[in-house]
Structure 1
Amino acid sequence: MARRPPPTPMLQAFISAAQTGSFARAASELNLTASAISHQIAGLEEWWGVQLFERHSRGVKLTAAGRALLPVVDGFFQELEAVLHSLNPSKPRPLYLSCTSSLCSTWLIPRMHGSHTEASFNLELVLTSADISRTNPEAHQFDVAIVMGDGDYPDHYAELLMHDAVFPVFSPGFQKVNGDIALADIARYPLIHRVDDHVCPSWENWFSFQGLAPAPYHHGPRFPDSGLAISLAVKGGGIALGRTALVYDALKDGTLVALNAPVMMSPAAYYIICRNGRQSEPDIARLFEWLKAQAQVFVREVTFYQDH
C-alpha cells in the first residue's frame, strides 16, 4: 500500500519556511502564527521521520534532507497547477509576481492602486512576498520577481528597476521628545536594527560612511524585515535605517522625519528578474514595462521632492 501523503498545510508551511528562511516570515506569508508554522513543520518532520530544518536564534536553515525534499514538494504544487490549467485552459493562468514584503507593502501596492483597471495593465497577478536568494532563486515560485542585489542572477534575465539611498528616520513624536537630533549624537538614541541583512547597508556601514565611531551595542528589538523596523520607528520606538523606496511616502505625509545628514547610496539596487527566455512573453514583457514606468515616475518625484 502506498504511503499516505502528509496534509497540504504541512507542505505549504515547509515550502514557505524554506523560501523565507524564517518561521515568522512564513507565518506572515500564510496568515498564520509562528507557533502554528512551527507545529506544522514539527508534524511534517515526525510524519517523514527526518529533520527538515536546523533551528537558530536568527532563523532556520534547511538540512540536507530538507534541501533534497524542497524541489520535490514545490514541483508537486507547480505540476498540479499546470495540469489544472491544461484541464481548464479558458481560465487564464495568473502571473506570480514576487517582491520582498517591505517593498511590496510600501512601494508596490500603493502604485498598483487603480492600475489594474488600466488597459495597459490588464494582467492576472498573484503577489507573493519572499527574499529571493541570488545564489538559488529557483527555490522560489515566481514568474517575475523584484529583488535587491547586484543584478547577477544565474539563469535569469535581469533589468535594473531603481537605485536606493539609505538614511536614518524617526517619527515626529520621537523628535518632539528628544529635540533636534545631531548627526554626531545619534549613537545615544535607541537604534532599530534589521538582522540577517546581507544585501542592504547596516548601521555599522552607515556609521563608517559618516566617519563616525561604531555605535555601542544597543539592547532592543531586531527585525528580520525592514518594514517591521520602520513600523516601530513610525510608532516612536527609535531610529531606523530607511531606504528611499520604503519610507518616501511616510516622509511625504509627515509620519516619518529624515535625519539631516548625507545620504548613503546602497551598493545594492532593485532589479526585475525572470527566467532566461521568458522576458519576451507578452504578459511578462508588459509587466516589466509597467514596473519600469512606475519606477521612473517615482525617481522623478523623489528628485523633485529633494530639490524643494
Structure 2
Amino acid sequence: MPQRPPPTPMLQAFVCAAQTGSFARAATELNLTASAISHQISGLEEWWDVQLFERHSRGVKLTAAGEALLPVIHSFFTNLDEVLHSLNRGNSSPLHLYCTSSLCSAWLIPRMHASQSDACLNLDLVLTNADLSATNLDATQYDVAIVMGYGHYPGQHVERLMRDAVFPVCSPEFRRRNGDISLMDIARYPLIHRVDDPLCPGWESWFAFQDLPAPTYHQGPRFPDSSLAISLAVKGGGIALGRTALVYDLLEEGSLVALSGAAMISPATYYIICKEGRQTEPDIARLMDWIKAQAADFVQAVSSQYPALSGPATGS
C-alpha cells in the first residue's frame, strides 16, 4: 500500500530550508519562526523515518536522502502551481515587475511602448520601484525584478541581462558653448553629481579610472537618482556621468553627446530575477523572455551604433 503523503506545510518547510540553507531564512520567507520550521522538518523526518538535513552552527546541509527528495518535492509544487494558474487564469492577479526608477523611465518604458503589439507582453502588469536589494527581497512584493548587483540573490532564479559603460555626457548646446572638452580639462567644467552609491560609480571613480587627479572638492548639484542628474545634463546644466542603458536613447535622438575618452566598466551588472521555481510559470516565463529579448536587441544596437561602448555594455 502506498505511504500516506505528509502534510503540505512540512513539504514547504523542507523545500524552503533546502533552498535557503537555513531554518532561520526559511522562517523569514514563510513568515514563521525558526522553531516552527525546525518542528516541521523534524516531523517530516519522523514521518519518512529518514534524516533530511545535517545541522551545523552556520546553517543546514541536505543529506543524500534530502538531495534525492528535493527535486521530487520541488517538482510537485511547480506542477501544482502551473495547473492551478491555468485553472484560475480568469481570476489571476497582475504581475508585479520591479525596476529602478532610472532604468524604468529611460530603458524599460520606451521598449514597452514600442512593443505594444507584441503578444509576449500582453500581460497584466504593475510596475514598482520600491526599495529592493539583496537583503530585503523577501520583504518586497514582486514577481519579476530587474536588479543591479553582483549576481548573489539566495533563493532566486537569476539570469544576466546586460552591463553598463560609464562615460561623461553633456548636451550638444553645452559642447557648442565650450568647444572641444578634453579629458584633462573636464574637472574645470560644471560637473553634475549622483549621490555616492557603491553600485553606481561617481566622478571620483571615473577620474581614478582615467588616471587623472580628482579635484579635492567639486561644487555642483548632487542627486539621489541617476535620471535626475541626466535630466539636468540634457538641459545644458553641465557634464554628467551617463550609463549606457540610461542615455542610449538620448544619444540616439541627439539630446546628449558623449565626450571623448575611454568608457569605464560599471562594477555591477543588470540581472533579471524571480523566486526559484517560479521561472516556469507561464506568465512569468513570457515576461522574462520578453525582457531578455529586449536586452539582447539593445546590446546588439549598442555594439552597432557605439562600438566604443559595446564591450562594457555587454560584458559578463
Same fold by TM-score greater than 0.5: yes
SS of residue matched to 1:108: helix
The question of 1:92 aligning with 2:92 is answered yes
> Mapping of 1:53-92 within 5 angstroms?
90-92=90-92
Q: One-letter code of the match for 1:185? A: D
- Is 1:275 the counterpart of 2:275? The answer is yes
Query: 1:223 is aligned with what amino acid?
Result: F
Listed as ranges, the matches of 1:89-238 within 5 Å are: 90-238=90-238
- Give the drift of 1:114: 4.3
Residue 38 (structure 1) aligns with: none
Give, in angstroms, the shift of residue 279 of structure 1: 1.1
**Following the alignment from structure 2 to structure 1, what is the Cα–Cα distance between the partners of residues 224 and 101?**
11
Q: TM-score, normalised by structure 2?
A: 0.67
Q: SS at the partner of 1:199?
A: coil
Shift of 1:91: 3.7
Matched to 1:142, the amino acid is Y
**Which TM-score applies when normalising by structure 1?**
0.69
Q: Is the 8 A contact 1:144 1:273 kept in 2?
A: yes
For structure 2, which runs of at least 5 residues remain unmatched after alignment?
1-30, 32-87, 309-316
CA contact (8 A) 2:120 2:287 kept: no
User: Alpha-carbon deviation of 1:121?
Assistant: 2.1
Q: Distance in 1 between matches of 2:215 and 2:134?
A: 30
Distance 1:218 1:130 in 2: 31
For residues 120-158 of structure 1, the C-alpha deviation after alignment (integer angstroms, 9 at most, x for no partner) is 222111111234212222232111110000111122111
Q: Mean Cα displacement is larger for which, 289-298 or 126-135?
A: 126-135
In structure 2, what is the Cα distance between the partners aligned to 1:240 and 1:142? Answer: 31
Q: Any idea what the Cα deviations from partners look like across 1:40-98, whole Å, max 9, x if unmatched?
A: xxxxxxxxxxxxxxxxxxxxxxxxxxxxxxx9xxxxxxxxxxxxxxxx97343110001
Amino acid of the residue matched to residue 256 of structure 1?
L
Native 8 Å contact 1:166 1:266 kept in 2: yes
Number of matched pairs: 225
Preserved CA contact (<8 Å) 1:92 1:124: no
Tell me the amino acid that sits aligned with residue 154 of structure 1: P
Larger Rg: 2
In the other structure, the counterpart of 1:298 is: 298
Offset of residue 267 of structure 1:
1.5
Paired AA for residue 136 in structure 2: N
Q: 2:248 matched to 1:254? A: no
1:278/1:90 CA distance change after superposition, 3 Å: same
Cα distance in 1 for residues equivalent to 2:184 and 2:164: 24
Task: Give distance in 1, aligned partners of 2:278 and 2:240.
Answer: 38
Residue identity opposite 2:261 in structure 1: A
8 Å Cα contact 1:156-1:273 kept in structure 2: yes
Aligned partners of 1:131, 1:213: CA distance in 2, in Å? 34
**Identity across aligned pairs (percent)?**
66
**8 A contact 1:99–1:145 mirrored in 2:** yes
Shift of 1:222: 0.8
| Higher deviation after alignment, 208-217 or 143-152 | 208-217
Partner of 1:289 in structure 2?
289
Q: Which amino acid aligns with 2:148?
A: M
Deviating 4+ runs (over 4 angstroms): none
Q: Is the 8 A contact 1:116 1:123 kept in 2?
A: no
8 A contact 1:171–1:234 mirrored in 2: yes
SS where residue 215 of structure 2 aligns? coil
User: SS in structure 2 opposite 1:185?
Assistant: helix
One-letter amino acid matched to 1:289? D
SS in 2 for 1:286: helix
Aligned-residue offset at 1:307: 4.0
| 2:53 alignment counterpart | none
Whether the aligned pair in 2 keeps the contact of 1:97 and 1:144 (CA below 8 Å) is yes
* Cα RMSD for the two superposed structures: 2.2
